[in-house]
Structure 1
Amino acid sequence: MVGMFERGDGDLGIGNLFISALGGRNKHQHYTAPFGQENTCFMIKKGTSTPRWQSLALPFRKDTWIAVLVMALLLGPIFFALSRPHVTGRYEKLNYQSMAFVSLYTFGVHLKVAQTQIPVSLSLQIFVAFLWVYVIIVLEAYSAKLVSFLTVERIPEGINTIEELYQSSLSVYGNTIYYQESLELAQNVHARKLADHYYTIKDFDVAYKNIMNGQGAYMASSNNLIYMMSLYSKNGIPTMRLLKECFQADNTAVGVQSHSPLKRNLDQAVNWVREAGLPYQWRRETLMILRQERRANASNDAMDAPEPEPEPESEGENRVSFSLEHLQGVFIMYGVGCGLSLIVFVSELPIYY
């Protein structure tokens, strides 16, 4: 296309054309005002989703589960010890129960099951009151996260940065030498090293086969990659994903001949198009048309399957498991409740002895 401008064979070049001086292209053509900005990103094979049965443990992280388990194991003995000194002086139904019963009592509270035997002593009442508040908050937090992990597919973390991509030794594919030249001039040292692993492949079907075999990653503009993800999805589920870290941002424009008399009017028209938000709307319409065509050619089962629009971050990384940092407030609150209960418990001892 740049050569056609230089020879005067073309007036306009419309496409995913980056405003750049790489390859000396600005010596043979000019650009109109930019109509958008594109991030150059990397696309790799989508990893295997986490088995659904593991979703039951995903709402909490390992340290949170350990903390909850320790609390559950300690509650029974603490409850049992607080009820022992009250055998005389005040009738406490829980006095005569075994350790097994008290453990089941606290386990029932963890399931939010109302207990018929209510503590009488003030220290035990404070302990049970804070126990219920703790249990309600923890269970509600678990239930809310569980709905998300049960209904949305979760992909384990994989390659997400340029450094990780370089360390993986995967090849990098693209449809033009422009991306290799961009990598060679990058400030990121790992991006520059990726230039040695770059291969130009014009046929995306060949690149797609290599990507799905786990041999490489594909490099292109983000919108182009999103389009390819939608085009090569299966039953509405993308088979590829984008890395979180992109390479660089470039302005996109319409190409014209050097010193073209059309440039002034074209700049004004392109600015109108950009200000009206039409490039974004046209991308959405393109994906909608693509889905309609794929549904029309698919089988009846495939037509009924939902086909969400792929996004650069389509793995559900925002569904973060609760850590101790998230729930530290409830543990601190319950620690305060246990301390208050112990103070009252100590103050009650002289009454009965």
Structure 2
Amino acid sequence: TLTFFGVLLPVLGYAVSRRSPRSLESPQEQEPILYRTPGGSFLLIVAAITRQRVMEPKRRGLKLIMMALLMFTLLATLFYCSTLTSNLTVPTYQQPIKTIQQLLETDMLVGSLTDSWRQQFKLSDNPDIQKLVPRYVSLDDYPSHLSEVVEGKMTIFAVSKTLRALMDSLPENQVRLMEECPYTNSVGALLKLNSPLKDDIDRVIMQMQSSGILDRFLVDTQRYLRRRDARQRSAKISSSEDTSNQVTLNLGHLQGAFIVFLGGCLVSTVCFLCELAMHHCKMSIQEHTGAQE
């Protein structure tokens, strides 16, 4: 709408000014009244911006104003088109999965090389982790399934060192590492099921969990990680504000410029019509006075 009226009004104003070029001539000057009034000058410049054929003004001030407005319109159009194109072509950024609960809300499969993860999921006391058992898929190797991870169809459970090595093997940063331990009592989790110490270690783990030590350790660890992440985020925000005091142009800023531009067109059109009417009245009075004499 802004673009339509911004183009239509200057063209109409210029068409009105060109409808009777002889009547717009002043007897003292050979320059049309369109060049000698503020509203007409603005409409003339806007008509030139909209690629209408206009006569070049003779005064240097009007030439400078025309050049400045042309440069402003060119820059504003470039910024507007680039921002609009980026908003239309860049896909929506998907929020990364940070918790097991968020992972359960998706349809992603869970894969690993060893079946010990499946057994650990079953033995976990966390009901959310137990829900991962139906999604578990045994993998032959990791590299052949990275494409499914990139597409958001699967997530891989492994130690952090292995996952970081897989991320480094990708050509670009296409996956993220969710650093959350899925077990609160994973002590001795790598022991074999037929180990003679398995029952004793499980009994000790259950006693530690029933005493509340593991729960207290988990709560303290979560609080520490949250405080650390909050400090890191605040430090990044403060450093970015200190290093750069620039504000990125967005569609709101550019639309404001076009609104001001459209307001100038409206005001200039009204002023030009008033100036044109006053000029016709003055010319008719002069003709009537000359006829009486």
Q: TM-score, normalised by structure 2?
A: 0.42
Q: TM-score, normalised by structure 1?
A: 0.36
Q: Which has the larger radius of gyration?
A: 2
**Highest RCO, 1 vs 2 (Cα 8 Å, sep ≥ 6):** 1
Higher helix share: 2
